[in-house]
Amino acid sequence: MSGALLVATPLVGLAAACVGAVAPARIRTPLSSALTIAACGCGLAAAAGVLHSGHSAVLYTNRLLPLAGFSLVLDRFGALFVGISAVVGICAMVFRLGYDGHGLASRTASCVLPLFITTLLLVPAAASVTTFLFLWELMAITSLLLVLVDHRRRSEVQVAAQWYAVMTQFGAAALLVGLVLLATHAGSQSFAAIAATSAHFPAWVRGTAFVLVVIGFGSKAGMVPLHVWLPRAHPEAPGPVSALMSAAMVNLGIYGIVRVGDQLLGGGPAWWWLLVMALGALSALFGSLHSATSTDLKRLLAYSTTDNVGLMLLGVGASGLFAATGHRSLALVALVAALLHVVFHAVFKGSLFLSASSIQQATGTRDLDQLGGLLRSMPITGPLFLVGGLTISALPPLCGFVSEWLLLQAMLHGLPSSNPALAIAMPIGVGALALTGGLTALTFVKAAGIGLLGQPRSEAAAEAGEVRRSMWVGTGILATLCLVFGVAPFLVIPAAVDAARSVTGARVPDPLVGGWQIGLSGIHGVLAPGLLALGLFVAISLVAGARRVVQRGAVRRTEAWGCGRELQTARMEYTATAFGEPLTRVFEDVLSPAHDLDVSHVAESRYYVEAARFHTTLDDSFERRFYRPAARGLNWWGAVARRVPNGSVHRYLAFGLVALIVVLVVVA
Amino acid sequence: MSSGWPVVSVVAIALLQALGVLIGGPLLLGLMRKVRCRLEGRAGPPIRQPLLDLRKLARRERTRPEQASWIFPLAPLMVVGTTLIIAVIAPLLATDPAFGWSADLFAVVYLLLLGSIALALGALDTGTAFGGMGASRAMTIGALAEPALLVAVLALSVPARSSNLPTIITRSLAHPLWLASPQRLLALVAFLIVIVAESGRLPVDNPSTHLELTMIHEAMVLEYAGPDLALVKLGESMRLVVLVALFADLFVPWGIATAPGASHLALSLVATAAKVAAVGVALAIFEVAMAKLRLFRVPELLAGAFVLSVLAVISALVTP
């Protein structure tokens, strides 16, 4: 059954792409969206079947890719990721029905978007190196085309796409080398053969392949320092595409690291995982710091993706480290925590990106400093954004809290350990997690408080209205899942446990106590998210009732206190820049913001200021300190190299002669 | 996990803890104010003055700024509601409170955060400069206090091998030597700094300031009036008393009721009240001796707390 559905997924997806390419403009969007939703439905059903039964779905054909064959095996681990992509895909497609920005209705976009979603559904099922790289590259190219959709109207899009193209191809090259290295040593390019023989590979092969794979997958996941494309490309992509990229595509980076590190290589020495943890902690801190200081709504969300990928990497790294030091059961808990965070991140980041795109469509801007007061003018999208923001801040009773709690528990119980690597890595991990949590809370108070509350800061924000129904339905499904998974996490925990077991092959009893409470077996104390939700509801109702009893008369609308002035305008409100300013100052050494103060004086006297203009810019320090010099170096090298071939035939003949002599010398 | 205590006693503990926090919060504030005044050579208002203030405020009219949405009236409910849950499930008077099995340290920390976030959103909802200013400052301090708090919590959880509050307290009662260990003392100082920061006391924030520009917490709640203001003030004092009581029970657990029964409970009530009052007096004396820190010196204080708690975790690993 799952096998047939696995075959149907790409076929329906291709049909959607064909319809998008040939159908007349009027019915193009609804028809191709409907077919894409059908493809996602097939993928979701296949994934559910595999997760339920535990039997992998297999598809092999040697007609599709010459010589290599096309091989798909959907196991429980892959099925979890296919399920995530399918749910996000369905919601993004529902959203797209009402979305009319960015030229997403064009023929090219309607053709490429279904292809992109299909690759998202198939990559986790790829079972050989060539199949994997084929699908991976197809995913990269289709997503690049989708980022570029709006390039004619805005030049930033082109810059963003350039960054994305360079970084994704750099990552793909690293992946290619790493996976081919493994395949040559295994003598076969199928994942099963690599997994069976990898234990006998020389240590340097395993180590090199792992580092290359972490670089390759890390660049897709937006891991620091390979994240620079992400805060550019995700904001510039059309709404549904940015949601798909942030909620479904980056997950595949985590998927790859776990698949290769835990399954193909069967785990490794502690330094691999310390590296992953270090990169995770760095990504989490750097991402959360930048998202706390960004004022562009979608850029803020993109940085927060880097931050959440960091948390997932912390979990994956902790899991590998536990396995390397012999704590099998804790390794499983940490991996389950990381996988749950992948699921929950997809749900809340998907809903946040979709509602941010709704806000962008309604107001025409993503600049938080231009927004405000949207909770009243957008009575559905506003609360949906709020739910996503509370979830990402890991607050009970929403789902972000569950995965963060589990990750903290795993790290906590690894602690009384004689192993120095664990003893140093875990407290630092918890510290990074905690600081990230605090900064994320600040970020979303800023995003929701400045964007949705208070007075509108621009004409556009004042005139905004609610978006079309299909848009808030698509967002609403994901936002509802935030709450459902938060109150009843047992709906996903078994799937995550099965997925983690199938990839690590761990034969340990289920370390989690399931049901309405989550706990670790053998450890006192549990988390009861359902009870917390109920408690919150009861407590707030009680307090509200008490307020009702003592209240006299209706609530009077008053003017806010303005220090004695009568007029309150939006210009007096705090902006997002101002909100993040104390934090920018605290972390000045890390962020190094550039301040620019232009003061012009009145012509008659220098003692009177005519106008003052303060400008502050906050660049990505990795971009400024590393990528820009590297790009300049490459340009310089290109210019130098161009001087060598000057068009003279004599010179080229001389090159040939010199090359021949070198070859002869080397061979002799 | 399941309580072996009779239902009557568990319900009594829950009610007593909730009432204790509701009334004890304002009384603790009154006590601290009294001590402060005495040390400054003034007579000071009676200790029950904050309760009288709440009664007065409850009778006043409710107002709401013109541009505020439904978040504004919801925020005070969230602050009091979240603290009320903690007051019920946390082991303040007995080692086996109602739903004590769910009283996880991390859950408590995040519930407190939920209250702070609600208040900050309520402040931004007013659309005024002061609301934004207070929210921005409070969230910055909160973001920096959280790592110190969580790592201090971790230092306490490591020897007990659990982050469940009743378990930590029961196990430290069984191993009194833990309490004098270096990790306890380091975590204690870090925890204390976080309490001061989270509850907006000197030297982080001055609760009695009348100058808007130096306000943090007060700037956030400028727009509240009547019952809403009463709830905000109540919530603020409840958070203080919950944190102080938890602090007292975690570091000096003796006196907490370890068995059901009216006599145990009565003893525990007296002991806990005495401990909380002692910490309150100590905090008040400390406040008199301190001046408010500049806003941009506060991160240094919190970073210090963070370093102390990391040291606490490391020493927890060294000493078995």
Interface contact A523-B1, CB threshold 8 A: no
Identity of the residue in B1, B82, B135 whose CB atom sits nearest the CB atom of A449: B135
Identity of the residue in B64, B67, B104 whose CB atom sits nearest the CB atom of A525: B104
Show me where the domains of chain B are located.
7-318
What pLDDT is attached to residue A522?
Answer: 65
Six token digits for residue B260: 């059901």
Residues in chain A within 8 Å Cβ distance of B1? 524, 526
Residues in chain B within 8 Å Cβ distance of A368? none
The residue written with tokens 């990559």 in the block is A123
Q: Chunk chain A into consecutive blocks of 10 residues (it has 668) and report each block's average pLDDT, rounded to whole numbers.
A: 87 93 88 94 94 87 78 93 96 91 81 95 93 95 91 86 93 95 92 92 94 95 91 90 94 95 90 94 94 92 95 95 88 93 96 94 90 91 94 90 90 72 82 90 93 90 88 94 92 91 78 75 77 92 92 85 74 87 87 85 84 84 89 93 85 92 91
Whether A286 and A420 share a structural domain: yes
Interface contact A445-B71, CB threshold 8 A: no
Identity of the residue in A405, A408, A525 whose CB atom sits nearest the CB atom of B101: A525
pLDDT in tens, B118-129: 999 999 999 888
Interface contact B146-A437, CB threshold 8 A: yes
**What kind and span of H or E run contains A512?**
strand A512-513
Residues in chain B within 8 Å Cβ distance of A401? 110
Number of separate domains in chain A: 2
What pLDDT is attached to residue A542?
Answer: 94
Say how far apart CA A482 and CA A400 lie, in whole Å.
Answer: 8
Interface contact A431-B151, CB threshold 8 A: yes
Asked if residues B233 and B208 have their Cβ atoms less than 8 Å apart, the reply is no
The residue written with tokens 């990898």 in the block is A198
Type of residue at A79:
A
What pLDDT is attached to residue A347?
Answer: 95
Q: Residue A629's domain spans which residues?
A: 621-667
Interface contact B89-A442, CB threshold 8 A: no
Interface contact B81-A431, CB threshold 8 A: no
Q: Determine contact: A401 vs chain B, CB below 8 A.
A: yes
Interface size between A and B, measured as CB pairs under 8 A: 272
Type of residue at A175:
L
pTM of the model: 0.93
In a domain, A261, yes or no: no
In a domain, A365, yes or no: yes
Question: What is the distance in angstroms between the Cα of B152 and the nearest Cα belonging to chain A?
Answer: 10
Q: 3-state DSSP helix/strand/coil percent for chain B, to nearest 5?
A: 75, 0, 25
Say how far apart CA A292 and CA B5 lie, in whole Å.
Answer: 47
Whether A272 and A359 share a structural domain: yes
Interface of A with B in 567-596 (CB under 8 A): 568, 570, 572-575, 578-583, 585-586
Say how far apart CA B19 and CA B13 lie, in whole Å.
Answer: 10
Identity of the residue in A372, A526, A560 whose CB atom sits nearest the CB atom of B128: A560
320 residues of chain B, pLDDT tens digit each: 345 678 888 888 899 999 999 999 999 999 999 999 999 999 989 999 999 999 999 999 999 988 889 999 999 999 999 999 999 999 998 888 888 888 888 889 899 999 999 999 999 999 888 889 999 999 999 888 888 888 888 888 888 888 888 888 888 888 887 777 888 888 889 988 988 888 888 788 887 777 777 788 888 888 899 999 999 999 999 999 999 999 998 888 888 888 888 888 899 999 999 999 999 999 999 888 888 888 888 888 888 898 888 888 877 776 65
Last-in-domain residue among A542, A570, A601: A542
Q: Which residue of B has its CA nearest to A431?
A: B147
Q: What is the dihedral of CA A397, A400, A404, A405, to 10 degrees?
A: 20
What pLDDT is attached to residue A590?
Answer: 83
CB atoms within 10 A of CB A581: 17
Interface contact B99-A528, CB threshold 8 A: yes
The residue written with tokens 């090199």 in the block is A208
In a domain, A42, yes or no: no
Asked if residues A121 and A86 have their Cβ atoms less than 8 Å apart, the reply is yes
Interface contact A540-B77, CB threshold 8 A: yes
Interface contact B64-A556, CB threshold 8 A: yes
Phi/psi of residue A609, nearest 5 degrees: -90, 130
Mutate to test the interface with B, among A391, A543, A575, A585 (most CBs of B within 10 A): A543
Whether A410 and A316 share a structural domain: yes
What pLDDT is attached to residue A102?
Answer: 63
Angle at A207 between CA A203 and CA A213, to 5 degrees: 145
Residues in chain B within 8 Å Cβ distance of A402? none
Q: What is the three-state SS of A290-322?
A: HHHHCCEHHHHHHHHHHHHHHHHHHHHHHHHHH
End-to-end Cα spacing for chain A: 61
Say how far apart CA B268 and CA A530 lie, in whole Å.
Answer: 30
Whether A297 and A414 share a structural domain: yes
What pLDDT is attached to residue A139?
Answer: 95
Burial pattern B114-139, b for ≥16 Cβ within 10 A else e, equals: bbbbbbbbbbbbbbbbbbbbbbbbbb
Query: Exposed, middle or buried by CB within 10 Å (0-12, 13-18, 19+), for B35?
Result: buried
Identity of the residue in B77, B99, B154 whose CB atom sits nearest the CB atom of A544: B77
Interface contact A527-B107, CB threshold 8 A: yes
Identity of the residue in A413, A435, A561 whose CB atom sits nearest the CB atom of B128: A561
In a domain, A285, yes or no: yes
CB atoms within 10 A of CB A225: 18
Name residue B48's beta-bridge partners: none
Q: How far is CA A64 from CA A339, B55, B204, in A?
A: 32, 79, 67
Interface contact A415-B128, CB threshold 8 A: no
What pLDDT is attached to residue A616?
Answer: 81
Length of chain A: 668
Q: Would you list the DSSP string of A7-29?
A: HHHHHHHHHHHHHHHHS-HHHHH
